[in-house]
Structure 1
Amino acid sequence: MTLNTQFLTMFTMVAMGVYIGAAYYTFKRIEKWWADGIIRRYLLEFLFWIVQAFVFFYVLYQVNEGILRFYIFLAVFCGYAMFKALLEQAYSKGLELAIRIISHILRMVYAIIHWVLIKPITLLFTFIVVCLSWLYQLFFRLFSFIFRILFYPFILLWNYVKRFMPKMEKNYLYQFFRLFSKIKKKK
């Protein structure tokens, strides 16, 4: 390994230490949004470190063909310490600003989707339901009116025949009608 490759490796590993510090800080900042259970939290932590190990070894492979030496770990540790000591406060402010901007954009997108897609669909659905209900009532009243008109002669005939019926038959028919009305009310 040449001297240029070693310096490039050292510089890259210090940058990887800074990256790991920033990634871990970001992970811890947004972890509370989705990791509410302890098992889920440990699982996400494990997956985070697996991804970071893959990123670390990919960068190491690109820089010096994956040769792992002790000073590489020291360079990563120095980069992480540099992030904690010098860059964490500035990164924290930038991250909070980015989170506020992203949350504001997401709220705007949600509001746009709500007012452009969801609200018109619900209003259209409500309009259709109201129109169908109105048509149902109109057809029911129309059918009831037509039914009354068609059966009006039969009702007149029944009232005329009822006058000439004996009292016993009327009592029997009244009991029948009472039973029929009870059945009708139960439905």
Structure 2
Amino acid sequence: MSLTIQLQTMLSMLAMGAWIGASLDTYGKLTYQPRSFRWTVAIRDLLFWCVQALLVFYVLYQANLGELRGYIFVALLCGYAAYRALLQSVYTYLLDRLIMLVVSIVRFIRKSVYYILINPVKWLLKLTLSLCMIVLTLVWKICLVISSIIWKPLWWLFRPLFQSLSKSKIYGKMVPYFRKLKEKSQSVWKKNDKR
């Protein structure tokens, strides 16, 4: 292995050490880590470290065709330590600001969708329901007026018949049914008048 390839490998491993430090900070900020043990957290952590290992090996393969030497691990550790000492505070500050920006953009989009799409649809549904109730009430009132217009002439027409029936024995048996019918019709009229 030539000196140029060794230097290239050292620099790339230093960069990968810094990358691992930044990835750890990002992973810690973006994921919830409960204090108690959970299998989902363990599997997620294992997948994170598998991805990091694959990235390191890919960069190492690009630098020196995947040849492992002892100084590679030292370079990774030095890169991680350099990140912790020099770049961590700046990176976490920028990461916090980026997360706050993304959260505010998502909130803005949610509010915009609510006020532009959902709120007008709700208002239209309420308006449609109110109009339907008005139409149904109007139709009911018209039906009541029409039935009273039809009922009164029929009452005057069949009144002599009812009076003659009232003197018969059949009427005495039917009086309770007529009273119930009259009470029900009066209660319906009262409810409609209140509306």
Match of 1:2? 2
- Distance of 2:33 and 2:109 partners within structure 1: 19
- Distance of 1:37 and 1:150 partners within structure 2: 80
TM-score normalised according to structure 1 size: 0.82
Q: Please state how far the C-alpha of 1:23 moved relative to its aligned partner.
A: 0.9
Q: Please state how far the C-alpha of 1:179 moved relative to its aligned partner.
A: 6.3
Distance 1:127 1:67, change over 3 A: farther
1:143 and 2:143 aligned: yes
TM-score normalised according to structure 2 size: 0.79
In structure 1, stretches of 5+ residues that fail to align are none
1:175 and 2:176 aligned: yes
1:104 and 2:104 aligned: yes
- Distance of 2:176 and 2:100 partners within structure 1: 77
- Distance of 2:182 and 2:68 partners within structure 1: 93
Q: Percent identity?
A: 30
Q: Please state how far the C-alpha of 1:5 moved relative to its aligned partner.
A: 1.7
CA contact 2:33–2:41 (8 Å) conserved in 1: no
Match of 1:75? 75
Is the radius of gyration larger for structure 1 or structure 2?
Answer: 2
Q: Any idea what the Cα deviations from partners look like across 1:8-45, whole Å, max 9, x if unmatched? A: 111111111111111111111121299x9833322322
1:30-179 map, 5 Å: 30-32=30-32, 38-165=38-165, 166=167, 168-177=169-178
Match of 2:28? 28
Amino acid at match of 1:5: I
Q: Please state how far the C-alpha of 1:65 moved relative to its aligned partner.
A: 2.3
Distance 1:54 1:173, change over 3 A: farther
Distance 1:183 1:92, change over 3 A: same
Distance 1:124 1:77, change over 3 A: same
Aligned residue for 1:32, secondary structure, equals: coil
In structure 2, stretches of 5+ residues that fail to align are 188-195
Q: Any idea what the Cα deviations from partners look like across 1:141-175, whole Å, max 9, x if unmatched? A: 22232233233333334544332223643342233
